[in-house]
Amino acid sequence: MKKMVTLLIAGAAVVSASFAQTNTVSSANIVGYSRIDLPDAGQYVIGSCNFETGETNTLLSIFGTNQLSQSGALAGCDRVVLYDPTSQMYQAWAQYTDGVFYKANDNNEWNLGISGNPVIPTGSSFFIASGSYSNKIYVSGNVVLTETNNVSIVPGYQLLAYPFSSDVSLQGTGFFTSGASANGALAGCDKVIIFDTATQRYQTYAIYTDGIWYKANNNDEWNLGIPASNNIALSQGFFYEAKSALNWVETNNYSQLIK
């Protein structure tokens, strides 16, 4: 018999019938879902899918064919924006009224009709830019039950997500033990940049030589030594700024509890 756990953010209630029709999960594994609230038109949120939606997570397996706003005109579409850490470039995708994803960095690219269904690797996140109205997106799948996950981080910026199906405190992540650059000087530290929905602003944290993350929007704040106390929520993505390449290793904290 299939187990179900409800993993929620932003006060999610139930998954709609239309969502269930296009995102059916059939597995003996534990299944969960979460909700991403899209802001008003023209704004964006950094989201993630912390579940296994198939052999690999792709745009279609995460979003299905009827959740995102679709239109013949790019301005009316919700856009999912992926970040390629190798090229350090963005690629936007939007769904036409046929439910197929097309490249959509601008109107010229959109009109070329270049379709695709790119993979969203474990531990990665994405922007969702609202189209003509605010929206609610549900993501679901099998809860990640592997004992450890490894995420390759390149020098520069990268859009990341916690690679398991739960919240995690920033201080509880494995960046430091995985070799993140820690320094007494702010300029020499790896940084995590998280969008604070309460203030509608980004908050930057940097890692000191003691392995603790501190607030670090600027040098004055860094010098105050204010430890981070926030969680990275389920379905929340964030930027990571790495000084050098590292293999981010995370251990599953809940797998033994739900097997």
Query: 89-134 pLDDT, tens per residue?
Result: 999 999 999 999 999 999 999 999 999 999 999 899 999 999 988 7
The 10s digit of each residue's pLDDT in 39-79 is: 888 888 999 999 999 889 999 999 999 999 999 999 999 99
240, HSE (Cβ side, Cα atoms, 13 Å): 33
The per-residue b/e assignment along 203-226, b for 16 or more CB within 10 angstroms, e otherwise, is bbbbbbeeebbbbbeeeebbeeee
Task: Read off the tokens for 53.
Answer: 């939606």
What's the first-to-final CA gap in the chain, in angstroms? 13
Query: Which pLDDT score is estimated for 258?
Result: 59
Query: Which pLDDT score is estimated for 8?
Result: 35
| Residue 15 covered by a domain | no
At 30, is the pLDDT very low, low, confident or very high (cuts 50, 70, 90)? confident
Regarding whether 163 and 110 lie in a shared domain, the answer is no
* Cα–Cα distance, 207 to 241 (Å, whole number): 11
Which domain-ending residue is among 136, 166, 183? 136
Query: Which 3 state secondary structure label does DSSP give 17?
Result: helix
At 259, is the pLDDT very low, low, confident or very high (cuts 50, 70, 90)? low
How high does pLDDT run on average in the chain?
87
Residue range of the domain that includes 116 = 35-136
> Based on the structure, what is the number of domains in the chain?
2
At 87, is the pLDDT very low, low, confident or very high (cuts 50, 70, 90)? confident
The 10s digit of each residue's pLDDT in 168-218 is: 999 999 999 999 999 999 999 999 999 876 677 899 999 999 999 999 999
Which domain-ending residue is among 136, 170, 205? 136
Average pLDDT over residues 18-41: 64
Query: Which pLDDT score is estimated for 10?
Result: 33
* Cα–Cα distance, 133 to 130 (Å, whole number): 6
Regarding whether 119 and 47 lie in a shared domain, the answer is yes
**Other beta carbons within 10 Å of 229:** 10
Regarding whether 252 and 156 lie in a shared domain, the answer is yes
More confident call, 11 vs 173: 173
* 3-state SS string for 117-164: CCECCCCECEEEECCCCCCEEEEEEEECCCCEEEEEECCEEEEECCCC
Regarding whether 215 and 170 lie in a shared domain, the answer is yes
Angle (nearest 5°) at CA 151 between 145 and 155: 165
Regarding whether 159 and 242 lie in a shared domain, the answer is yes
Query: Which pLDDT score is estimated for 256?
Result: 60
Which domain-ending residue is among 79, 108, 136? 136
